[in-house]
Structure 1
Amino acid sequence: MPLLMLSIGEQSTPLEDVARIIHHAVTHYSDHELNIAVSSLADPESRDHRMDALLAAYEAAYGVFPHERVHSTMRVYLANERLEDQAAVHRPRLTPVAKWMIVSLVVVLGIN
């Protein structure tokens, strides 16, 4: 069964757009056709997760959040020391997710 995994870490995609994707997925596909998961990355300083903001954005636009359909993973990035010969770390904010993720979902899900 396909799994739609959405990351709401440090990317700049507006949470209203993420809410729209979730709403489209839960209203057009059954739980036997598509699983949905959200990975929420917390701020290491405050430990605040963006999941709370996503819930608020979803509920403002569509009503009750579909908790029974959306699996959630909440993580915190912690600073770690790299060894001299390890490759550089590429953090999510350096990845232009909005440029490829939304376009891919539009094509796959047929969102207008």
Structure 2
Amino acid sequence: MSTQVHTVTGVNCPHRLLLDQIADKWSVLILAALCEKPQRFNVLKREIEGITQKALTQSLRRLQRNGIIERRVITASPVAVEYEITPLGRTLKAPFEALYIWTMDHLPEVERARLAFDASSES
């Protein structure tokens, strides 16, 4: 394990680049929003509070480029674009759920640590 971690920390490591692209806050929130069903761009933008149009567009393109989501043009009137998680993207469900459960289980401890840190930093 330590060899793998060391490798991933290298600046030019392709694993690091992929980890950066799938584990950033916007990508995680986009995948959570797409978990249940495909969504249109504007629905995603409304659902993910605080995301800008530019950040959403960039994150969707990165996820699409990595094969995690797919973009589908709907030729109804008016033309729309919909995004959906791919089978490869669905393999992220278990690790992301584990991370979510960890945050739920440990948030009180983290908040206590933050308070203690902030109190000691003020001194």
The verdict on a shared fold, with TM-score over 0.5 as the criterion, is: no
| TM-score (ref. length: structure 2) | 0.26
Instruction: Mark the structure with the bigger radius of gyration.
Output: 2
Which is strand-richer, 1 or 2?
A: 1
Which is helix-richer, 1 or 2?
A: 2
| TM-score (ref. length: structure 1) | 0.28
Bigger relative contact order (CA 8 A; separation at least 6): 1
